[in-house]
Structure formats: structure tokens, C-alpha cells
């Protein structure tokens, strides 16, 4: 394991940021700490980096107990949401900082920084100040700066949070490719489930200071441990009191043993998909179907239709007993 977090708790005054969290992060993997704002995921990352001290529990990095080590001696790379660029230094100097602190020979520093500048595609901006870069370029500089010291683990706190949607998408894909190239154990914090699903090998879902579930994106999506995980990872709707994914609902023209009668309230075309709002026994429900299905069923408001649950996906653990 690259990082072992055991029984970590942290409070800020009355507020419980982390409550007895244990997590193993394998070497070389790209792991997302996912969860709603204020859920404790950033605190966990900062505890791994040594920027916060846990009230209880231990942190192990690459097999050594790091719990009481200061951030300087953990050999982690940390990338902040707002870049934390050293504003008075050029891009080159920013990236060279950690190497200069380690008193590496000048030639080695220059060679290494130039490699990194190329790796993150900002070689043209080496002499600029951070203020003269775009947000995306600054974030890549921050990443290069963290990678320069060849850290044991790379920690990224909402790395794309401050960027606009387009740049964010590009950087995500780029981070994934970069990780495939350098293979450093990477942990990043995000509140965006799409981002986590797209980039990470493993997702650890954290909410209200607790670890809800750890697994691959598919495991979390297809086998959510509870309703919270299910609703956090994708759209959900309620059928007879159970959470279901709207695209797991099947609409049929005729009643069957496993169907429920519903009235179509509204039909919305969103490009390829069609969102159908229904009313079942006075409860709202919505289903996501293809345009083809909608056309075949001739869906329009007021029409009676029969809803069944597609069987290919599992429900949250307790759902089977009540459904």
C-alpha cells in the first residue's frame, strides 16, 4: 500500500470533519476522494499531506508511519485548488523550488525543470510570472512543481475546481493520460461524481466525516452500499418507495405481473434521450428512455403506461426485502 489511513478522526471545534476513517490506497493507482462539500474529504487529504494533524488515528506513507512527520518530511506532492503559485517567481523558478531547497546541482535542476515543462506542455511560458498564465496553465505548473521532487504520492485538492467547464474537461482527460505516463500514486479530491467516474481507478466516497464506500467506479455505480452512494453517483427516482435509476425503468404499453400503472405527465426531449415524467399513485417518478422507445410508445401527457424495473442492475442492499 502506498498510503494507509487507520482510524483517523478530526474535529474543528464542535464540527466533526472526520470520524474514524480507515482507507488503503494502493501503489500506482489514481484514487478519487469523492463526496459532498464539507464532508471531510479535503481534510483527509490535508492530513495525509501533514497540513493538518489528526486528533486520532495514524497515517502511513510507503510503509513508514508519517503521523507525526511535518509536511516537509513526508515527500508528498500537493496541488491546491487555487494553485498556490508563488506569485513573485517565474514558472521556471516555481517548478525548480523544491529542487533548489534540496540543493540539487544547477544543471540537474535545469534539466529536470525543462523535462517537466515539456511534460505539462507549458515550455513556452517558462519565463513568465504566474499572473501571466491562464488558470489551466497555472494548474499544470502547480502539478509540475509537485512532481519535480519525485514525491512518493501526489495529492490534488479539487485540482480543477477553480477552472471553467471546458478547461476542466480537457484537464481531466490530460491528468488521466499523465498518470498513465508517470504512474505516481495519485489521490485527488473532488465533489464532482462525473469527474471521479471518468478519471479514477478507485473511488472512496466520503460524506459527513465517514467513509461510505470504496471501490472501482463501476462497483460504486452498480453495487452501491446504500441509498446515499446510489443517489450521489447518478440520477435516481423513487418507485414504490425504492431508489431506482431512471434509465433502469422500462415503459411498456401493457400491464404485466411486475409492472405498475402510471400516467404520463410531461415528455421532454433532451437530444438523444427523452425524460418522461410520470405520476404513480400520486407520487412523482421519472424515467429516461431513448427517442425510439418514446416514439414507439407514442408517449404524450395523459397517457396510461406500465412501468417495470429492468432486472440487469442490483438495488441497494436493503432494497430487495422491501421491493
Partner 1 sequence: MGRWIARVIALAYLLLLLVVPVGIVFFRTFRNGFSPFWDAVTTSQAEHAFRVTVEVALFAVVGNTLFGLVAAVLLARHRFPGRGALNALIDLPLAVSPVVVGLALILVYGRFEPIGGFLDDHGVKIIFSLPGMVLATIFVSLPLLARELVPVLQEIGVEQEQAAWTLGASGLQTFRRITLPAIRWALAYGVILTLARALGEFGAVAVVSGGLVGKTQTLTLYVQQEFQNFDPIGAYSASFVLAVIAIAALIVINVLRPKEHS
Partner 2 sequence: MTQLDAPVPIAHRPAPASRSVRRSPSGFGLSVGFVTIYLSLIVLIPLGAVVSRSNNHGLSGFWHQVTAPDALSALRLTVVAAALVSAINAVMGTLIAWILVRDRFPGQRVIDALIDLPFALPTIVAGLVLLALYGPNSAIHVSFAYTRPAVVIALLFVTLPFVVRSVQPVLMELDQEMEEAAKSLGASPFTTFRRVVLPNLVPAILAGTALSFARAISEFGSTVLITGNIPNKTEVAAVHIYSQIQSDNVAGAAALSTVLLLVALVALVAFNLIQRWATRRG
d(CA 282, CA 278): 10
Selected from 27, 28, 53, 88, the binder of partner 1 by CB under 8 A is 88
Determine the Cα–Cα distance for residues 81 and 160; give it in Å rounded to an integer.
7
Cell numbers linked to 70 = 511535518
Spatial separation of the C-alpha atoms in residues 138 and 171, rounded to whole Å: 12
Grid look-up 407520487 returns 283
Q: Does 82 bind partner 1 (CB under 8 A)?
A: yes
CB 278 within 8 A of CB 285: yes
- Positions 50 through 79 that interact with partner 1 (CB under 8 A): 50-51, 70-78
Select the residue interacting with partner 2 from 32, 34, 42, 195 (CB under 8 A).
Answer: 42
Residue 237 cell numbers, joined: 427516482
Candidate list 25, 52, 264, 305; residue touching partner 2; CB under 8 A: 52
Residue 14 touches partner 2, criterion: CB under 8 A: yes
Select from partner 1, partner 2, none the partner in contact with residue 168, using the beta carbon and a kind-dependent cut-off of 5 to 8 Å: none
- Give CA–CA dist 289/287, Å, rounded: 6
Which residue's C-alpha cell is 517558462?
Answer: 126
Rounded to whole angstroms, how far apart are CA atoms 183 and 192?
Answer: 23
Name the grid cell of 206: 466520503
Contact call for residue 71 and partner 2 (CB under 8 A) = yes
Per CB under 8 A, contacts with partner 2 among 172-191 are 191
12 contacts partner 2 (rule: CB under 8 A) = yes
Chain positions 15 to 54 lying near partner 1, rule: CB under 8 A, are 49-51
List contacts with partner 1 (CB under 8 A): 49-51, 70-78, 80, 82, 84-88, 97-98, 101-102, 142, 145-146, 148-149
- List residues near partner 2 by CB under 8 A: 12-15, 17, 37-38, 41-43, 46, 50-53, 70-71, 81, 157-158, 161-162, 191
Amino acid at each position: 500500500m502506498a498510503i494507509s489511513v487507520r482510524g483517523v478522526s478530526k474535529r474543528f471545534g464542535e464540527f466533526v470533519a472526520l470520524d474514524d476513517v480507515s482507507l488503503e490506497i494502493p501503489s500506482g493507482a489514481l484514487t478519487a476522494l469523492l463526496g459532498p462539500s464539507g464532508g471531510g474529504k479535503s481534510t483527509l487529504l490535508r492530513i495525509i499531506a501533514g497540513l493538518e494533524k489528526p486528533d486520532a488515528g495514524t497515517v502511513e506513507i510507503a510503509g513508514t508511519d508519517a503521523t507525526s512527520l511535518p509536511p516537509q518530511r513526508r515527500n508528498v506532492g500537493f496541488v491546491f485548488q487555487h494553485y498556490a503559485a508563488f506569485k513573485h517567481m517565474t514558472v521556471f523558478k516555481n517548478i525548480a523550488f523544491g529542487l533548489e531547497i534540496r540543493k540539487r546541482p544547477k544543471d540537474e535542476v535545469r534539466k529536470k525543470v525543462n523535462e517537466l515543462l515539456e511534460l505539462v506542455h507549458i515550455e513556452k511560458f517558462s519565463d513568465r510570472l504566474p499572473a501571466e498564465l491562464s488558470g489551466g496553465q497555472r494548474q499544470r505548473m502547480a502539478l509540475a512543481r509537485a512532481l519535480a521532487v519525485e514525491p512518493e504520492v501526489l495529492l490534488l485538492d479539487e485540482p480543477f475546481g477553480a477552472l471553467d467547464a471546458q478547461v476542466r474537461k480537457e484537464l481531466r482527460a490530460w491528468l488521466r493520460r499523465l498518470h498513465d505516463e508517470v504512474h505516481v500514486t495519485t489521490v485527488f479530491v473532488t465533489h464532482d461524481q462525473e469527474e471521479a467516474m471518468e478519471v479514477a481507478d478507485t473511488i472512496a466516497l466520503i460524506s459527513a466525516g465517514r467513509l461510505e464506500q470504496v471501490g472501482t467506479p463501476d462497483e460504486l455505480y452498480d453495487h452501491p452500499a446504500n441509498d446515499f452512494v446510489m443517489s450521489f453517483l447518478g440520477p435516481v427516482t423513487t418507485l414504490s418507495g425504492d431508489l431506482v435509476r431512471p434509465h433502469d425503468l422500462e415503459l411498456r404499453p401493457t400491464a404485466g405481473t411486475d409492472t405498475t400503472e402510471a400516467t404520463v405527465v410531461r415528455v421532454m426531449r433532451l437530444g438523444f434521450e427523452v425524460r418522461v415524467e410520470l405520476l404513480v399513485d400520486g407520487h412523482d417518478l421519472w424515467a429516461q428512455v431513448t427517442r425510439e422507445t418514446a416514439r414507439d410508445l407514442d408517449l404524450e401527457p395523459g397517457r396510461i403506461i406500465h412501468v417495470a424495473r429492468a432486472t440487469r442492475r442490483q438495488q441497494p442492499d436493503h432494497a430487495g426485502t422491501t421491493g
